[in-house]
Chain A
Amino acid sequence: MQILLVEDNPADAFLTQEALRQEKSNDSSLSVVMDGQEALSFLRQGGKYAGVRRPDLILLDLNLPKKDGYTVLAEIKGDPLLKHIPVVVFTSSTAPRDILQAYALYANCYVIKPLDLENFFRVVQSVVKFWSVIASLPS
């Protein structure tokens, strides 16, 4: 499975990569983009992303430079070519209004980043396992 991670903090992106690397049964591959604009060019295969494979799953941070996570989410879910791709909002915000707004914009699920490394790894691995093994996707 092809996963796109939209995350502006490289340290955080590395932790997600490491979580997948430590999962032996995992055969997904992760691409990382660091802001909202890059995320949309990647998804629309524009510019330097011409020819990249569209991801099967998007992990989206909310706090992003250039275009924030909500704008990216709204654009994905408003685009007939992209709206079928599951978007997992992956953020440290526990604020009820963020959760509400993400679902109102058709996020497929909202996951809070655990503070502890072990839980963080487990959550990343479970999310990817759910979307790759348990759920059936159009692609």
Chain B
Amino acid sequence: MIAELQLFARVVAHDFQEPLRMVTSYVQLLAQRYQGRLDPDAEQWITYAVEGSKRLQRLILDLLAYHEVNTRTQEFAAVDCESVLAGVLFELRGTIAKRGATVTHDPLPTVRGDVAQLQEVFRNLVSNGIKFQQQEPPHVHISATQTENAWVFAVRDNGIGIDPHHLDRLFLVFQRLHATEPYPKPGIGLAMCKKIVERHGGRIWVESELGKGATFFFTIPR
């Protein structure tokens, strides 16, 4: 059953992409060729169609990435979380500067895992911490503590926090918690994090109150 589901996800992700690429490309070609010769309604509709098809492409790529979390063949190796975080902060430097965010961290350990996937987890949690912010400049702090058999990582932010009613839906695929802008459209980030952390034998959870920031925790076995 699981094998069948995986096949289904892969077929959906790959075989949907092709016809969708035709829709996107031809709407863009229409826009390119007839720009300025259509009435404003038509131009607006073309924009909507392009946006819609690009969004669907994004969703399909996300779904494919989500599906591929467990099909990676890379062996686990020693991963220095300090340098993983440094890489993530470098990638996010544009966003950090734009939002005037501060990201601080305690010393982080070396763990065993898949470096690209752990980078994905840090990237998602840190960028969420920066994004879901209303007034103050965002501050994200990353720390790690040791228990008997695992490292517990914590990514704390001072953002808008999460309504307790939503906590159980947070780690599901394509869930939208905030009904309106300015918050980004629902993605797959936290569902990815959950799948990756579980592949490493750990777990992930969040503690938060509305208006009081959120702290995401995840464990990686030692």
Chain B interface residue count: which class? 10 to 19
Q: Do A93 and B28 have beta carbons less than 8 Å apart?
A: no
Interface SS of chain B: helix
Q: Do B57 and A115 have beta carbons less than 8 Å apart?
A: yes
Q: Do B21 and A92 have beta carbons less than 8 Å apart?
A: yes
- Specify which chain B residues have a CB less than 8 angstroms from the CB of A92 in the assembled complex: 17-18, 21
Render B3-32 as a binary contact track against A, CB cut-off 8 A, 1 for contact.
Answer: 000000000001001100110111011001
Q: Do A117 and B29 have beta carbons less than 8 Å apart?
A: yes
Bound together, the chains give a CA A15 to CA B23 distance in angstroms of 12
Q: Do B22 and A116 have beta carbons less than 8 Å apart?
A: no
Bound together, the chains give a CA A115 to CA B17 distance in angstroms of 8
Chain A interface residue count: which class? 10 to 19
Q: Which of A87-139 contact B (CB under 8 A)?
A: 92-93, 113, 115-118, 120
Q: Do B26 and A18 have beta carbons less than 8 Å apart?
A: no
Bound together, the chains give a CA A113 to CA B14 distance in angstroms of 13
Q: Do B17 and A116 have beta carbons less than 8 Å apart?
A: no
Q: Which among B14, B22, B24 is the interface contact of A93 at CB below 8 angstroms?
A: B14
Q: Do B26 and A116 have beta carbons less than 8 Å apart?
A: no
9 new A-B contacts at CB < 8 Å, known A92-B18, A93-B14? A11-B22, A15-B29, A18-B29, A115-B57, A116-B24, A116-B28, A116-B54, A117-B24, A117-B29
A sample of 27 cross-chain residue pairs with beta-carbon separation below 8 angstroms, ordered by A number, consists of A9-B18, A9-B22, A11-B22, A11-B26, A12-B22, A15-B25, A15-B29, A18-B29, A92-B17, A92-B18, A92-B21, A93-B14, A113-B21, A115-B17, A115-B21, A115-B24, A115-B57, A116-B24, A116-B25, A116-B28, A116-B54, A117-B24, A117-B25, A117-B28, A117-B32, A118-B28, A120-B25
